[in-house]
Every structure is written in C-alpha cells, then in structure tokens.
C-alpha cells in the first residue's frame, strides 16, 4: 500500500502563523502610509483654507486703502476719518453711472464677535456706506483672526504713534494672524508672533488668545501675513 505523506495535504500550523504574521506587517504598513497621507492632506487643506482667507482679506484692504483720498474731480470730501490700531475709516470717490459717488469704508477688528463665530477668535469686519448714509451693516471680511493691527508710517518711512494725525499718514501697515478652523492634536504651536511694528505688545488680541499660544490654542495651525500699503492720494 502507498503511504501518503502529511506534508502533501496542506499547510502546517507554523506555516500558517508565519503567513499571518507577514500579512499583519504588510497591512500595518499600508495602514500607516494611509494614515500619514490622510493627515498630510488634512493639514494641507487647512493651510490652504487659511491662506485663502487671509490673502483675500489683504487683497481687499490693499485695493481699497490705496483709493483713500481719491477725488479726481474735486467734488468729494474724500480723506481719512479715523486711523486707529484696530479701526480704519476713510472715504473714496468713484465714478459710477457717469457721476462721481462718495463711499465711506470702515475696516474694524472685533476681538470678541457677537454672536461669536468662535469663542476664542475675533474677526475683521468691513462696512461700505453709499454717500455716507450709514445705512450699511458690517460684514465679516475675515474670520478666525487671533490678532490684528493697523500701524502707520510717515513719508520718510518712520513709524508713527498710535492714532496719529491723519495728514501725517503715508503708509498703512496691516498685520493679521489667522488660525485654522480645526485643531490638530499632533501639532503644537509655541511661536511668539510679531506684527509689522516689530513689537508683540502692539497686537490687538482676540479675547481668548494669548501670544505665544497656550492651552488648547497650541493645537491650531496659524499663518501671519503683513503688508505695507502706500497711499497714492494722500
């Protein structure tokens, strides 16, 4: 009679265990790569969203602040009204429907919005009134703003004190610190952020924010952008 060897009928227990161990390592490696890629995608998405918000706000402010005092026909009273650390109010004169029209633009940082969009962040608001009627309502220009500052320089580029005489202002500096919409538990932010003035104490901070970040605020990604706007018509 022929005798059948056991090894010809299947896998041994040792072979099965080795195969399972190898498979587990391969699956763990694939999952690890997937997790890293997913986290990287999430972070990049938040960074892109932050940059879009802050660049959009700075672009709007740059275009409009450069128009301050614009009055080619001399029929408007366009000039600065208020130039403070958290508020900038100015008039511009534009030609629409064949005639010059005057607009008053208010840019104001609110460190504690009501109703709050977030309990720990502020927002930058803009109001555009036709012919100084004061009928328009503030609209959010940028949300999730942890810190903000308007600073000013004269025609020689020297820094001016807070709330300077409007006739001395030739350059407006805008500093804005924006944070991501969601925290990242694997990220810790310990940076001390500086505005264009170079002094961290000059910041107007959101009601729940400290510089450098502390507590739960450390887990948010942030972007700081500053820009200098030369006044063409002042």
C-alpha 185/C-alpha 6 separation (Å) is 54
Task: Indicate whether 54 belongs to any domain.
Answer: yes
Task: Indicate whether 7 belongs to any domain.
Answer: no
* Model pTM above 0.75: yes
Specify whether the CB–CB gap between 144 and 224 falls below 8 A: no
Task: Indicate whether 225 belongs to any domain.
Answer: yes
Task: Indicate whether 143 belongs to any domain.
Answer: yes
- When the pLDDT of each residue in the chain is averaged and rounded to a whole number, the result is 83
What pLDDT sits at residue 228?
94
Task: Indicate whether 25 belongs to any domain.
Answer: no
Return the number of other C-beta atoms located less than 10 Å from residue 205's C-beta: 18
C-alpha 35/C-alpha 197 separation (Å) is 41
What pLDDT sits at residue 108?
95
Task: Indicate whether 161 belongs to any domain.
Answer: yes
Residue with tokens 């810790």: 188
Q: Which residues of 44-62 are buried (b: 16+ CB within 10 A; e: fewer)?
A: eebeebbeebbeebbebbe
Specify whether the CB–CB gap between 176 and 205 falls below 8 A: no
What pLDDT sits at residue 96?
61
Task: Indicate whether 65 belongs to any domain.
Answer: yes
Given a cut of 70, the residues of the chain with pLDDT beneath it are 1-10, 34-43, 72-80, 95-100, 115-119, 131-134
Specify whether the CB–CB gap between 125 and 140 falls below 8 A: yes
Number of domains in the chain: 1
Question: What is the domain range of residue 106?
Answer: 43-230
What pLDDT sits at residue 69?
76
Task: Indicate whether 14 belongs to any domain.
Answer: no
What pLDDT sits at residue 191?
95
What pLDDT sits at residue 116?
56
């Amino acid at each position: 009679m022929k005798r059948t060897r056991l090894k010809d009928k299947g896998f041994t227990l040792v072979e099965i265990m080795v195969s399972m161990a190898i498979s587990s390592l391969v699956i763990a490696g694939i999952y690890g790569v997937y997790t890293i890629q997913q986290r990287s995608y999430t972070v990049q998405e938040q960074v892109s969203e932050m940059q879009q918000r802050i660049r959009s706000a700075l672009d709007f402010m740059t275009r409009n602040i450069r128009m301050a005092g614009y009055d080619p026909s001399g029929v408007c009273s366009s000039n600065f009204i208020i130039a403070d650390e958290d508020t900038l109010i100015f008039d511009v004169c534009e030609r629409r429907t064949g005639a010059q029209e005057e607009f008053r633009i208010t840019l104001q940082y609110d460190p504690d919005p009501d109703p709050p969009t977030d309990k720990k962040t502020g927002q930058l608001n803009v109001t555009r009134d036709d012919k100084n009627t004061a009928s328009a309502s503030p609209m959010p220009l940028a949300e999730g703003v942890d810190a903000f500052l308007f600073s000013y320089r004269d025609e020689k580029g020297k820094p001016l004190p807070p709330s300077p005489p409007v006739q001395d202002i030739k350059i407006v500096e805008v500093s804005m610190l924006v944070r991501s919409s969601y925290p990242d538990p694997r990220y810790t932010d310990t940076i001390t952020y500086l505005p264009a003035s170079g002094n961290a104490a000059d910041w107007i901070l959101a009601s729940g924010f400290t510089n450098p970040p502390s507590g739960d605020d450390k887990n948010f990604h942030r972007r700081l952008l500053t820009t200098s706007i030369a006044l063409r018509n002042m």
